[in-house]
Structure 1
Amino acid sequence: MVAAVAVGVLALGVAAQPVAFAAGRPDSVQRGLDGLVREGGVPGALATVTDGDGRSRTYTAGVGDVATGAGVPRDGQVRIGSNTKVFTSVVLLQLVGEGRLGLDDKVEEHLPGVVRGDGFDGRKITVRQLLQHTSGIPDYEAEVGEAIERGRYMAPREVLEIAFRHPATSTDGKTFHYSNTNYVLAGLIVEKVAKRPLAAEIDRRVVRRLGLRHTYFPAPRDLTIREAHPQAYHQDVVGGPLRKVTEIDPSAAWAAGQMVSTNSDMNRFFSALLGGRLLREEQLRAMRTTVPVVEGAEVGYGLGLISRPLSCGGVYWGHGGDITGFETRGGVGPDGRAVSVAVTTDPADYKVTERLEGLVDQALCR
C-alpha cells in the first residue's frame, strides 16, 4: 500500500529530478543510508545492491530498536507494502498466459455484480485497467489506517464496501489514478480463476519457484514479522514522536500491500521477473507497457510495474511501497543491477521519499 497522504504521485516516488548523492565511491550507498538517518530522521535504514552476476552487498544504518539501541538486522525482513501489487499482477498475468482469462475481459465476467458505484461499473472496466490503475475505481486507503494500526482484521469485501461509497476518479478508462482497490479486485479475480487462495498462488507460482526463502504473505490475523527484523515506527507529523507499530494487521492491504520480504529477496524477484523467468514474452511486454503517472513527469505505470528515469540515462523498473511502519523503494537498471532500500518508518516528510529515490538512482548509476 501507499500512504494515504501521497496517493497517486508522491507515494510512487515521483520527483522532478533525482536527489543527488555522491557517486562512484565504494561507500556511497552507506553514506546515503547514513544521511537518511541523520538528516531524514528515520530510525533505521537498510539496503541491498545486487550486481548483474548476482553478487550482493548489504548495508544498514541507524538502530533497529530506538528503546534498546539494538542494531538493524542485516537484510532483515520488512513489510513491503505496494510491492505486493507486483506479485499479484505476476500471478494474474501467468493465468492470462495459460489462457484462463484475458486482459481485456470485463471485470464483470469474473466478479459478477461486485463492481457497481457512482461513475464506475464492472461491466465496462477491464482487467487491464485494474492492473494499470486506469479503471477510475476510488481508493479506500485513507479510511483504514486506524484499523491497520489497531490490529483489526479487514476482509477484502469490507474494504471494497468502503471504496464504493465514493465516486469514480475518472470515467475515460485512460487516466491514471492510483487505487489500492484495483488490486483487491485483481486478487479476487485470481482466486476466482485459480480456485485457490491468492496467498497460496503467490507462494506456489512465485515465492517457491524463485526460492525466496524470506518472503511470505501473512496469514489472516497474523500481526508479527516472522524472522529477524527492525522495529517499525510511525510519526504523525514531521519532527513528532515515534510510535512503535511493528505489530499491525495488514489485512486491509491484502493483494495491494500485505506481504513481508527482505531487500535481497526483492532484488532476486525483480531480476527474475524482468529477466523473463516468471512470465511469457507477451505478458511481460504487456506488463512493461506504461501510461504516464502524471503529466510532465517521466514516470510510467505498466501492469504493476513502474518505470522511472535514471540520472545516468535510461530507466529502471520496480515499484515501491509504503505501509504503516515501513517505506521501500528499488528496482532493476538497464545493466541488470538491482537495488532495494527500506526505512523503518512511514515518513511524514516527503523529502525522505525523495532521498530514498535519489539513493536508488545513485546506486544504479554508479
Structure 2
Amino acid sequence: MKLVAAFTAAALLTTAGVASAAPAGEREAVQQIIDQLTTSGGALGVQARITGLGTVRSGSAVLGSREPVPHNGTFRIGSVTKPFVSTVVLQLAGEGKVSLDEPVSRHLPGLIDDRITVRHLLQHTSGLHDYTEDLPLDPAGFPSIRFRTWDPHELVDIALRHPLGFEPGAEHSYSNTNYIVAGLLISKITGRPYQREVEQRILKPLRLKDTSLPLNSVDVPGLHAHGYLPDADGKPVDVTRLNPSWGWAAGEMISTTRDLDAFLEALLGGKLLKPAQQQELMKTTAVSPNYGLGISVLPLPCGVTLHGSDGTIPGYAAMMIGTPDKRMALSINQAANGGTPGDAGFRLLNEVFC
C-alpha cells in the first residue's frame, strides 16, 4: 500500500484536527511517533527530515544490530522518481517541444493507443495496465527477477498484453506503465536518455549530489540502511542490492532526505517550471481529485493541503510531502514483517503540519 494512500485513508476517517504539541515539545512529539513506526508500523528504521526540526531518526540500519539509521543516508525512493520525470516533461512543454494534450503517438508512433495524451500519462488517466501487477514481486517470486536487467520496451509490452482498463481520460488508476512511457517520450524528444535529462535539468542545477539514477547498478552508494523482504518461508532476506531496471522511469532512483527536501522546495516554490506549467503540475480534476501531474494532493482535517509523492520498492519506502513553507522527507527501511505507517503516519503529518 502506498504511504500517501494509507495516510489519506486515515484522513478520511478523521473529521476533526488532531491537537498538536506546543512548539517547544514538537521534536519530542515527532520522535515519539517515529519510534512508534519502528515498533508497530512495520519499519526497521526511519529517518525524517522536517523543516525547522532537522533530522529525526529511529530504529536500526541493519537487522539484528544496534547500528543507527544514518542521519542523511541514501535509500531507494521508488515512485518518488515520478515527480522528477513529470518535471522534465513539463519543462519540455514550457519549451514548446511537446503539448500536454497531444497524443503520445505523435512522438512515439505505434507504441500505445492513439487516444492517450501526454497529460493522461502524467495524471494516471490513460487506462494502461500496470505492468508491475504481472511481475513476480511477491516474496516467493522476487528472487527470480532481483538481478535481471529489463529494457523499458519489455515493460510496456507486458502492459499491452492487457486491454485498456477504461477510455483514456475517463478514470484515474495508478499505473507505473504511464511513467515508463513518459521516460521513453523524454528520450525521443530530446535524443538523450531520460536519466541524462533528469541529471542536467534537475540534479545539477539544484546540486542534488547524493541523488542518482542507477540504471542496472545493484548497489546503493554511500552510507545507507539495509532493506529486507521475507522469503517464501517468512525469513528476512537483505534485498538492499537489487537491479532496479524493472522500475526505470517509474521508480529506479536513489536519494537522501536532504536532497528530496531541496527538490520539493524548488518544485513547490516554482523554481523549476514556468508559471503555466507550474499551474498544470498542481491541477486536479473531478476524475483525478487527489493527483496532479506527478504530484499527490493530500488535504488534512486542519485545513492544510499538502503536495508531494511517495513510493515503495522491496526493502524501502519513501515520501516527500509538504507546502512551499514547510516540508517533510521520510525514508523507511522495511523490516521483514512489512506493514504500513497507518495511524502513526497520519499523526506524524498532523504533528508536523497542523
TM-score for both structures, normalised by structure 2: 0.89
Tell me which residue corresponds to 2:35: 34
How far did 1:362 drift? 2.2
Amino acid at match of 2:320: G
How far did 1:10 drift? 4.0
Tell me which residue corresponds to 2:334: 345
How far did 1:328 drift? 1.4
Tell me which residue corresponds to 1:290: 284
Amino acid at match of 1:89: S
Query: In structure 2, how many angstroms separate the alpha carbons of the residues matched to 1:132 and 1:152?
Result: 29
User: Structure 1, unaligned stretches of length 5 or more?
Assistant: 1-5, 116-120
Residue 79 (structure 1) aligned with residue 62 (structure 2) = no
Q: Pairwise mapping of residues 196-345 of structure 1 onto structure 2 (< 5 A)?
A: 196-219=192-215, 221-235=216-230, 240-291=234-285, 300-333=290-323, 336-345=325-334
Tell me which residue corresponds to 1:3: none
Residue 89 (structure 1) aligned with residue 86 (structure 2) = yes
Query: In structure 1, how many angstroms separate the alpha carbons of the residues matched to 2:311 and 2:143?
Result: 19
Residue 110 (structure 1) aligned with residue 100 (structure 2) = no
Q: Does the aligned pair in 2 maintain the 1:340–1:360 contact within 8 Å?
A: no
Q: Pairwise mapping of residues 4-153 of structure 1 onto structure 2 (< 5 A)?
A: 6=1, 10=5, 14-15=9-10, 16-17=12-13, 23-24=21-22, 25=25, 26-51=27-52, 57-115=54-112, 121=113, 123-144=114-135, 145=137, 146=142, 150-153=146-149
How far did 1:22 drift? 6.0
**Residue of structure 2 aligned with 1:360, choices 344, 349, 353:** 349
Amino acid at match of 1:225: V
Deviations 1:58-82 (A, max 9, x none): 0110110014331111121111111
Secondary structure of the residue aligned to 1:320 is: strand
Q: How many residues align?
A: 343
Q: Does the aligned pair in 1 maintain the 2:3–2:319 contact within 8 Å?
A: no
Q: Select the structure with the greater relative contact order (CA < 8 A; seq sep ≥ 6).
A: 2
Q: Does the aligned pair in 2 maintain the 1:305–1:318 contact within 8 Å?
A: yes
Query: In structure 1, how many angstroms separate the alpha carbons of the residues matched to 2:9 and 2:65?
Result: 35
How far did 1:235 drift? 3.9
Q: Does the aligned pair in 1 maintain the 2:38–2:58 contact within 8 Å?
A: yes
Q: Does the aligned pair in 1 maintain the 2:3–2:341 contact within 8 Å?
A: no
How far did 1:27 drift? 1.3
Secondary structure of the residue aligned to 1:96 is: helix
User: Structure 2, unaligned stretches of length 5 or more?
Assistant: none
Tell me which residue corresponds to 1:118: none
Secondary structure of the residue aligned to 1:114 is: coil
Deviations 1:258-301 (A, max 9, x none): 1000111111101101101000000010010013678xxxx610
Secondary structure of the residue aligned to 2:43 is: coil
